[in-house]
Structure 1
């Protein structure tokens, strides 16, 4: 199996077959795939089998029995990202991976600069404030171009010897914009500056080649486009960059004691993994990764783009609805506002009709929301599983709200 293979395109019949193996589509009209998507029966069964094995054998013994199966998650993640398995750590989520590697960068000093895309995830900014800004470092937003995405040329003009990190959220949480991750990576490489990419929304939705992106660190999560279980995540660390990172804490897995009683730090990305892990979740993640690769990420991207375009076009024709997405290339996250209704109110009213969306406030993407004067938006995110009938039902419900 490899990410460069070319599975057959996703036809309507193929989508129906996938939906038949997805219990959630029978009970909800789901437009919150960017929050957490709907797992397949096979992913759920992989976790159930491991939990039952733990009940029968004991959790420790069952973990030993499932080790090879669970380790497939690392191998398949490496295929997905065009990385080496030794460059992949399996984490409990996007924030845990991003935060642990940021904390491992070392001490910050007054005058250090961190350059971020304006759409940076609020959790990343919080970590930067606590560890870096407290020491006198500064967070500065990369200017946007006329489409709203981070401008690589403007970034290049900002670089000086005080810049210690460039960080970009590839697909922001508050809309469909896609930042130019590879073009920004080229700037970072040219100047020799560490480059972190938050790919929480991108992993499983876009084809990703970490060599082309040019990042030192990339983080992802299982529960979104990959349709894996919650509390699973992927952390890529470029092998040559790993020696620059000292974890804030270690244990018997990440730094076992040698014969002299001294910690021997692992030389692979698993130095960022704890000894305690859920084998059931890893078995579920491995299955979700296998399904994504079997479907083909190019096919996933094409179908999501098709569904998102259709939804944006229909919403744009509804009086009283403003589609808020920016960027030249867009993702499956569709942000909008309904006149006279806060995004959180739209979420509640749609939930009463069995339709799931999300709403975002400034805490998610504070720099961008403030710059654009946005207080509260509604967000409908599609999957390759999304059907035209579901899109029509969502738009009709919003049309009634907007009257």
Structure 2
């Protein structure tokens, strides 16, 4: 979608055109956590130095996306290396809206009152901007005719306004989202992330930020305007070479004694664009790699990837497992000293997501995003797990 928008805007020549030569090399797509990491490194108030690690937490309307980065220098070039990343905890403001809408629908259904689209839109808008304080919240009704001649009390509907107890919102709307936030904070403590400098950029999520401050105290430092921090990081990443005479990238860290999954040619690693044909790129599992003990008890080695298919029969790819015996942590730039362990073929043709993509794009190229997971619990092979598709 982003590439199509860039082509439509004339920023990059589309594929197949006479001006296409080198076009993809001029289009670089950076993720929000990576943009936040670039902004942190160039943010003078932080004073980050080589060999320091920091965490970027992008907590906006959807999920909580976190990534640990380390700053290092090689040949007088400063780089940002990703040590590990995770995405989950669906507890952003968007999910609060979903919970509130479900609450409204059930509230009207139990009272046999129709919920018109106009009233629903007014309630949702008011929920976004109203101060959620006091014992009751009052939401102005757009059309009050549906509420006439009902047995509603003043504690349910008063003076043309829907009355909602805050206790109901706490139980039905906020608690389902606050639980994952509490768990995320607990996980960060268990994994020892408190020993790193915690930096937070991205869209404002008041509930998450308040919980983090309560649990982690003064270890989180916010930009003056976190809403545009990722935009600044994106611009700084593109201009880094001309501004500070040093390229800033975000390669993946290969930890010492780690196991790595590589995806075969023509498959992009970590959504970084199909023009990057890396066969030995990997992602460590955990903050210090996958130890032998974890490996023996079945700890999964996981790699996110995007399979680009040119036609419905283009469904097979090769996954390769490597190990690194190096005692030093280093950036994944050229593959390095990696020992090949095993290969296996994975066929996406029976996966529901792939079938839907074939139906939606029968004559066009399409992408299938997934995770490759290698389980070392006595089986010499792997399985494919697609997000949102149970049973795979």
Sort the TM-score into its range (normalised by shorter chain).
under 0.3
Normalization by structure 2: what TM-score? 0.23
TM-score (norm: length of structure 1): 0.23
Point out which structure has higher relative CO (alpha carbons under 8 A, 6+ apart).
Answer: 1
Structure index of larger Rg: 2
More helix per residue? 1
